[in-house]
Amino acid sequence: MSAQRSVFPQIDPDEVSSNPSGNRPFREVAARALSRRSVLAGGAVAAAGFLVAGGGTAPAAAAAPAAPAGTPGRGGSRPFLGFTPVPTSDADALTVPDGYETQVLIPWGTPIRPGGPAWRKDAANSAADQAEQIGMNHDGMHFFPLGRGSEQNRRGMLVLNHEYIDQQLLFPDGDAEITPEKVAKALAAHGVSVVEIAAGRDGRWQVVDSPRARRVTAATPVTFSGPVGANHPALRANTAPQGTINNCSHGVTPWGTYLACEENFNAYFGTEDPDWEPTPQQARYGINREGFGYRWHEADPRFDVAVNGNELNRFGWVVEIDPMNPRATPVKRTALGRIKHEGCEITEARGRVVAYTGDDQDGDYIYKFVGSAPWRAQRALGRSPLDHGTLYVARFDDDGTGRWLPLTHGKGPLTKANGWADQADVLLRTREAADALGATPMDRPEWIAVNPRNQDVYCTLTNGSGRGGAANPRTPNPYGHIIRWSEKNGDNTATTFDWDIFVLAGDPAYDDRTELTEENRFGSPDGLWFDPDGRLWILTDVSNSSQNLPEKGYDHIGNNQMLAADPRTGEIRRFLTGPRGAEITGVITTPDQRTMFVNVQHPGEATVAWGEPTPENPRAVSNWPDFDPQGRPRSATVVIRRTDGGRIGA
Ligand code: FEO
Ligand code: CA
Ligand code: CA
């Protein structure tokens, strides 16, 4: 997410730390140069770049010559990155390389079943309509294939998050007055869409009728599982548990479910009670009286922190959704902790589930959950593998090693004597527990991705103040970087790791520590995904307070973009640029990698560079993708194919 407010955003709320812990472990460790790159790359790559702890960096990732290696295991007849990079762009358009074509699919407001309530370009759809339509601000996404064999590349369930809303675009009158009907529509525009899509003979994709299609919104009944059970007193509020909000990125389990992650939940709450003050716990999660400025509390006491404070405890979780069973109640898996979950990358080691999740706020932490037993055995016992295990938080030491610290009640400082009642208490106050353990404050952890070829883990650190030592080497860090680590012996359940920095983003015209060039400079990396070949896709979210602005050092970087990287050589090429005001969010392909789905989020949002949409002129910043003179910009999924039918990126 970038800016949520309807006025010009001067700063993103995520860019403001709410971590007062002062954690900066091992500040005294002497700066010393070292390279982990050759270790992590398995010796395959000369260590041209290395990290100099606490100071300058010379990352190898950058403008390497054309990748020498072919697509692994496929004969190597084409380069690993086999497309011509696209230039940066500030046009109100989506661009892809020569030889590729695009199709806009399921923009906001599309009925989830053919024949459902039609999109109204004047934003006059009701709350009930919206609950049967695709939500706003598409984010994390996965494609669950249907059928057998090659049919799986032509039909499936597309499941995607709708992170937040823009009230100026959602309502005909913007956010003039907040009414119960407007809150209901706003709730319905949030959550998750589950739609069945299929490709026709011409390769064009469309939504098809499906008994599995559904919307999970911010008003859908939900339940809780794990140490903070559904009956926990901290979850008692003025309604039955309902809804998921600010679903940013996602995860996919080996048993075929989708994990929607709740990120900036704090920002939906507020109050007009002059006597209300946040508790220390609430302050640690950034709860205040304004939030994003949506003002829902003016029309719905559910969101008034002064009268319904426990509602807050129902958010900040990872939510499991079955994409094949529309009657299955979404379950909040509390063992994964309560933070501003960006995403939840799942991998498997020694038969166990390992879930990596970042807490996206400046100075917050990276976590991982390790199942207590092999997941198949747990499921055979009728237990969720996500309910039983250990949650850890990461400490990145300046010498290039790191350690996972267990958030386990009774261990270390997390004792009754120190005020920790039980494991549920630790999880409800995950951030404070991680503070107590001495976790490393990071520059806004966003998506995490595991390399399918060697199990190395990559995490985007989108930007931040650089308080967290050598792992966050620029102070401040307006462009962000990508960190990676290799768990001990390649075992993702391990409690120690080696880390290095894969790339420092930025523009060499403003920061000579970055080695990017015209064909790959970018800033504020956010989305991150490995395709099955091991290509690393990087998606950017430069905030609307910086995008396109010379005074922010972002005038040569253009609109938000998607790039592809070769993790072995560090080569990076720009693949796609988005329309004005938008960020690029979710990405996934069909199993054959010949169709790619990419989400374009919040085109046309208020930006300092381009202006502000209003009820009178919702098209002030962008009119993508419809370019209808009476319409309005809409988030959408874009289908990308090669005109020769080949694999995307190869
Ligand atoms: Fe929802 Fe951290 O981006
Ligand atoms: Ca994001
Ligand atoms: Ca972001």
Burial of 198 (0-12, 13-18, 19+ CB in 10 A): middle
The encoded tokens of residue 54 equal 């606490």
Angstrom distance (rounded) from CA 601 to CA 368 = 27
- Nearest-angstrom CA–CA distance, 79 and 74: 11
Residue with tokens 């520590």: 513
Give distance in angstroms: CA of 372 to centre of ligand 3.
32
Cα–Cα nearest to 102, from 624, 496, 631, 628: 624
Specify the ligand 1 atom closest to the Cα of 14: 2
Amino acid symbol at 211: P
Quick check: 70 pLDDT over 80? no
What are the distances in angstroms from CA 46 to CA 40, 64, 374, 397, 568? 11, 12, 37, 24, 10
Residue 65 pLDDT exceeds 60: no
Cα of 603 to ligand 3 centre, how many Å? 15
Ligand with an atom nearest the CA of residue 525: 3
Main-chain phi, psi angles of 447, to 5 degrees: -70, 155
Residues with CB under 5 A from ligand 3 (ion): 462, 526, 541
Separation between Cα atoms, residue 559 and residue 577, nearest integer Å: 6
Nearest-atom index, ligand 1, CA of 446: 2
* Model pLDDT, residue 31: 30
Nearest CA to ligand 1 atom 3: 1
248 lines ligand 1 (CB under 6 A): yes
498 lines ligand 1 (CB under 6 A): no
Distance 248 CA to ligand 3 centre (A): 9
Which bin fits 159, alpha (ψ -120 to 50), beta or left (φ > 0)?
beta
State in Å: Cα 585 to ligand 3 middle.
9
Given a cut of 90, is residue 50 above it in pLDDT?
A: no
The sign one gets for the Cα dihedral 21, 23, 28, 32 is negative
Please tell me the predicted confidence (pLDDT) of residue 220.
98
Instruction: Judge if the beta carbon of residue 342 lies within 6 A of ligand 1.
Output: yes
- 158 Cα to the center of ligand 2, angstroms: 19
Contacts of residue 650, defined as CB under 8 A and 6 or more positions apart, other chains included, come to 71, 74, 78, 80, 82, 533, 593
Q: What is the domain partition of the chain in residue ranges?
A: 13-263+316-327+339-406+440-601+616-642
Q: What is the mean pLDDT of the chain?
A: 91
Å from CA of 29 to ligand 1 middle = 32
Check residue 647 and give its pLDDT: 97
Establish whether residue 446 lines the binding site of ligand 1, counting it when its CB lies within 6 angstroms of any ligand atom: yes
Q: Of 49-58, 188-197, 521-530, which gets the smallest average pLDDT?
A: 49-58
Check: CB of residue 49 under 8 Å from CB of residue 514.
Answer: no
- What lies within 8 Å, CB to CB, of 55 at 6+ separation is 31, 473
Q: Is residue 27 pLDDT above 50, yes or no?
A: no
Q: How far is CA 132 from CA 189, 249, 266, in A?
A: 10, 22, 26
**Does any ligand 1 atom lie closer than 6 A to the CB of residue 263?**
yes
Distance between Cα 2 and ligand 3 center (Å) = 6
Taking phi first (over 0 means left), then psi (-120 to 50 degrees means alpha), and beta for anything else, what does residue 182 get? Answer: alpha
**pLDDT given for residue 21 in this prediction:** 83
The confidence band for 24, taking pLDDT boundaries of 50, 70 and 90, is low
- Which numbered atom of ligand 1 lies nearest the CA of 340? 2
1 pocket-lining for ligand 1 (C-beta < 6 Å)? yes
| 8 A C-beta contact, residue 353 and residue 392 | no
Q: Which atom of ligand 1 is nearest to the CA of 541?
A: 3
| Percentage of the chain exceeding pLDDT 90 | 87
- Residue 443 Cβ inside 6 Å of ligand 1? The answer reads no
Amino acid at 454: N
Per-residue pLDDT, 22: 76
Q: What is the dihedral of CA 87, 89, 95, 99, to 10 degrees?
A: -20
Q: Is 51 in the pocket of ligand 1 (CB under 6 A)?
A: no
pLDDT in tens, 211-256: 999 999 999 999 999 999 999 999 999 999 999 999 999 999 999 9
β-pairing, 318-321 vs 362-364, is unpaired
* Binding site membership of 163 for ligand 1 (Cβ less than 6 Å): yes
Amino acid at 599: N
Is the minimum distance from the CB of 397 to ligand 1 under 6 angstroms?
no
Please identify, by atom number, the ligand 1 atom nearest to the C-alpha of residue 342.
2
Quick one: three-class SS letters along 384-438? Answer: CCCCCEEEEEEEECCCCEEEEEECCCCCCCCCHHHCCCCHHHHHHCHHHHHHHHC
Q: Is the CB of 584 under 6 A from ligand 1?
A: no
Among the bound ligands, the one closest to the CA of 12: 3
**23 contacts 440 by C-beta, under 8 angstroms:** yes
Q: Point out which residues pair with 358 in neighbouring strands.
A: 366
- pLDDT, one tens digit per residue, over 321-330 is 999 999 999 9
Instruction: Specify the ligand 1 atom closest to the Cα of 462.
Output: 2
Distance, CA of 621 to CA of 604 (rounded, Å):
5
Note the CATH number of domain 13-263+316-327+339-406+440-601+616-642. Answer: 2.120.10.30
Q: Is 281 helix (H, G, I), strand (E, B) or coil?
A: helix
Q: Residue 5 has which token pair?
A: 């407010």
3-state secondary structure 235-263: HCCCCCCECCCCEEEEEECCCCCEEEEEC
Which residues on neighbouring strands pair with residue 450, listed in sequence order? 457
Residue 62 has pLDDT above 60, yes or no: no
- What ligand is nearest to the CA atom of residue 263? 1
Q: Which atom of ligand 1 is nearest to the CA of 246?
A: 1
What is the full DSSP assignment across 637-649? EEEEEETT---TT
Report residue 15's pLDDT band, with 50, 70 and 90 as the boundaries. confident
Helix (H, G, I), strand (E, B) or coil at 469: helix
Contact assessment for residue 363 and residue 381, using Cβ atoms and an 8 Å cutoff: no
Percent of the chain surpassing pLDDT 70: 90
Is the confidence at residue 537, as pLDDT, over 50? Answer: yes
> How high is the pLDDT of residue 251?
98
- What is the per-residue DSSP string for 44-91? -S----EEETTS-EE-S-B-PPSPSSBSTTTT--SBSS-SPPPPP--S
Query: Tens of pLDDT along 130-180?
Result: 999 999 999 999 999 999 999 999 999 999 999 999 999 999 999 999 999
DSSP H or E stretch at residue 187: helix 180-189
> Using 50, 70 and 90 to split pLDDT, how confident is the model at 17?
confident
Please tell me the distance between residue 248's alpha carbon and the centre of ligand 2 in angstroms. 6
> Among 24-38, 91-105, 268-282, 426-440, which stretch is predicted with the lowest mean pLDDT?
24-38
Q: Is the CB of 398 under 6 A from ligand 1?
A: no
- Tokens describing residue 556: 């040569």
pTM: 0.92
User: Is the CB of 175 within 6 Å of ligand 1?
Assistant: no
Per-residue confidence at 433, pLDDT binned at 50, 70, 90?
Answer: very high
Nearest to 438 by CA among 365, 336, 369: 365
Identify the three-state secondary structure at position 282: helix
| pLDDT (tens digit per residue) in 329-339 | 999 999 999 99
